[in-house]
Amino acid sequence: KPNNEWWSSTIFYQVYPRSFKDSNKDGIGDLKGITQKLDHFVDLGIETLWVGPFFKSPMDDMGYDVEDFYMIDPMFGTMSDLEELVFEMNKRNLKLVIDLIPNHSSYKCEWFEKSIKQEGKYKDYYMWHNASNQGEVLSNSSVTPIPPNNWLSLFVGSAWTWNEQRKQFYYHQFSKEQPDFDMRNPDVKQQILEIMEFWMDRGVNGFRFDALKYLYENVSLLDEPFMPGMSNASEYVEINHIYTSDQPEIIDTVLEWRAFMDDYTKRKNKSISSLMSSESYSPVNVLMQYYGNFTNPGAQIPFNLALVRFPKDDHIVESIDTIIKNWLADLPENAVANWVIENHDNLRTSSKFGALTVPMFTALKLALPGVDVTYYGSEIGMEDNMYLRPEQITDDNLAGGPRISRPRDYQRCPMQWDDSINAGFTEEKKSWLPVNPNYYKMNVETQKKIPTSNYNFYKKMSQLRKTNTLKNGDLQTYNITQSIYILKRSLLKHESYIVVTNFGSETETVILSNIIRDIKDELFVYLGSENSAYSTGSKVSTVSTGYPLQL
Ligand code: ISL
Ligand code: CA
């Protein structure tokens, strides 16, 4: 059943505001910069922008540590810059989604300062608990306080930090500069609704709710069990986080927030519904619950992050196929799928699987049904900037611990607009992170002029997404060898589309008519391989990858 809401087949483009475009020559991207670049999205047929956090923040976690939820950080601009952005976006029929970070604030947030002093309603805004040796600590100042339990921060060490002033521990899933709210406190819940209303009043069309997986902690405060084979765990990955992640209360909260957003639409007589997306690296069966159901809808876009994380091994095709099928298998009625392959927290696909796979991923994800989530720069195949020197690294928050993680700066380098100094990102000599030196050839302006560039391929795919077939058609996948993956979209009486990708290192010949029974009039969309070529508009039944196709 087709879902014809404005967002149901949108491209949801992630703008990392620090790195997109600098308008005021301080080397840091800003809101005005985004406004200057809106025609980029029009050209590519992208309709929805998710702009990362731009709120007042000490930037211990690049804005995911919010000091004031109602204020724009001067680094990014002013409220009137946002007004201008919204105005210019409306003119172009673009929609704006922003980050909402409900799990924690910055330790510099006024609410946390008041909470330390146990002032009024702020007293229980955060998760305060006594030391497990509280009695001794209070009676003898030289005794070291012991945390309430073994819970670990996703970033580093214990999730509990002692506050000398309040003489209690506070809980933080992320860094100690990011104290967790107590989401069971009705005042906190109300506060989140107020934040939502505040930004919706300013023309925002929806939110990407951050880190929902960690919204609640089990009230038992029990120690978490070790992973199998571990007896003395000190790193995040060595513990099974059954009490600090994916708690069942999250689902109800997602549904409540969606209901609030829908109610807002009615109250304010808005012509379009607001969009709720959520970030949780959770099992598919949990994420399916985020969707809610017909009577109690939840997130329209609970991020499907499996393609961000799957391993690079001999089973790429199998992994991709399984991920696609798992998501579609249990999709609630009327729900829309979504596909994420990259973001500001993880390696870019181009760097993980190699530059040659960029057009293949572009083809696959733009041809899949539902919402595509694109990370900035992906349209030109931007790569992680591995040339950063240790002193240039700014991110010291290693998700999951140092054994499995690395600084996230590599994938957060400035957008590559043209071949001028600093890739046209800033006129200042120094950008906050160095531009990838490959910008001389890999940039938007250059790729626009090359018909076979990824930019133009992305654009073509984006145009095809507007067809009935790609909007509402059936999906069939063909997982025929370890390296060839084929995807077909078809809709009665409409043209069908076939995507053929080769993830192997060898040239392969694929007789499409042997695989797809009713093949006759299909439009061949993509052929990806070693020598990387793609073509559109031809009827082919035999594909040998590895050679540029001359058509
Ligand atoms: O991406 C991850 C690991 O590769 C996740 O564990 C991720 O760190 C987690 O889902 C939360 O991410 C979000 O909240 C963090 C912030 O640092 C991230 O940038 C943000 O995407 C804390 O606010
Ligand atoms: Ca929490």
- Tens-digit pLDDT profile for residues 439-449: 999 999 999 99
Give the pLDDT band (50/70/90) at residue 2: low
296 and 241 in contact (C-beta within 8 Å)?
Answer: no
> How many Cβ atoms are within 10 Å of 539's Cβ, its own excluded?
10
Q: Ligand 1 in contact with 246 (CB < 6 A)?
A: no
Under the banding of pLDDT at 50, 70 and 90, the label for residue 528 is: very low
More confident residue, 311 or 32: 32
Residue nearest to atom 13 of ligand 1 (CA): 211
Ligand 1 centroid–CA 397 distance in Å is 9
pLDDT band for position 93 (cuts 50, 70, 90): very high
**Would residue 39 show up in a list of annotated catalytic residues for this protein?**
no
For tokens 């530059």, the residue is 355
Distance 188 CA to ligand 2 centre (A): 12
Alpha-carbon distance 388 to 524, whole Å?
A: 40
Q: What is the pLDDT of residues 460-490, one digit of tens each?
A: 999 999 999 999 999 999 988 888 899 999 9
Contact 83, 90 (CB under 8 A): no
Nearest CA to ligand 1 atom 14: 211
Tokens 């020559």 correspond to 25
3-state secondary structure of 58: coil
User: 532 and 505 in contact (C-beta within 8 Å)?
Assistant: no
Which protein residue has the closest C-alpha to ligand 1 atom 22? 64
Q: In this structure, are strands 160-163 and 168-171 parallel, antiparallel, or unpaired? A: antiparallel
Q: Is the CB of 210 under 6 A from ligand 1?
A: yes
Say if residue 526's pLDDT is above 90.
Answer: no
The pLDDT assigned to 26 comes to 96
Those residues with Cβ within 8 angstroms of residue 483's Cβ, 6 or more apart along the chain or in another chain: 316, 317, 502, 503, 504, 506, 508
Report whether pLDDT(534) > 50: no
Nearest ligand 1 atom, CA 104: 23
Would the pLDDT of 156 be above 60? yes
| 246 labelled catalytic | no
Per-residue pLDDT at 491 exceeds 90:
yes
pLDDT score at 401: 80
Q: How many CB atoms lie within 10 A of CB 87?
A: 11
**Residue of 18, 106, 210 to test ligand 1 pocket, by largest number of atoms within 8 Å of CB:** 210
Q: What mean pLDDT comes out for the span 220-235? A: 91
Instruction: Determine the pLDDT at residue 4.
Output: 82
Closest alpha carbon to 112 in 193, 181, 215: 181
Task: Tell me the pLDDT tens digit for each residue of 53-92.
Answer: 999 999 999 999 999 999 999 999 999 999 999 999 999 9
Model confidence band, residue 1 (pLDDT cutoffs 50, 70, 90): low
Q: Is the CB of 281 under 6 A from ligand 1?
A: yes
State percent of the chain over pLDDT 70.
Answer: 94
**Helix or strand or coil: residue 488?**
strand
Choosing from 65, 279, 383, 409, the catalytic residue is 279
61 lines ligand 1 (CB under 6 A): yes
ipTM given for this complex: 0.96
pLDDT of 400 reads 84
CA distances from 34 to 37, 254, 286, 500 (A): 5, 29, 35, 35
Query: Tokens 């380098």 correspond to what residue?
Result: 413
Long-range own/partner contacts, residues 406-412 (CB < 8 A, 24 or more apart): 408/344, 408/345, 408/346, 409/385, 409/433, 410/347, 410/351, 410/384, 410/385, 410/386, 411/342, 411/344, 411/346, 411/347, 411/348, 411/351, 411/375, 411/384, 412/16, 412/18, 412/19, 412/62, 412/344
Q: Is the dihedral of CA 449, 454, 460, 465 positive or negative?
A: negative
Q: Nearest ligand to the C-alpha of residue 342?
A: 1
Query: Would you tell me how many other CB atoms lie within 10 Å of the CB of residue 294?
Result: 9
- Reduced to 3 states (helix: H, G, I; strand: E, B; else coil), residue 92 is coil
Average pLDDT over residues 265-281: 96
* Confidence band for 228, pLDDT divided at 50, 70 and 90: very high
Tell me the C-alpha distance between 391 and 288, whole Å.
42
What are residue 50's phi and psi, to 5 degrees? -105, 115
pLDDT of 251 reads: 98
How far, in Å, from the CA of 126 to the mean position of ligand 2? 9
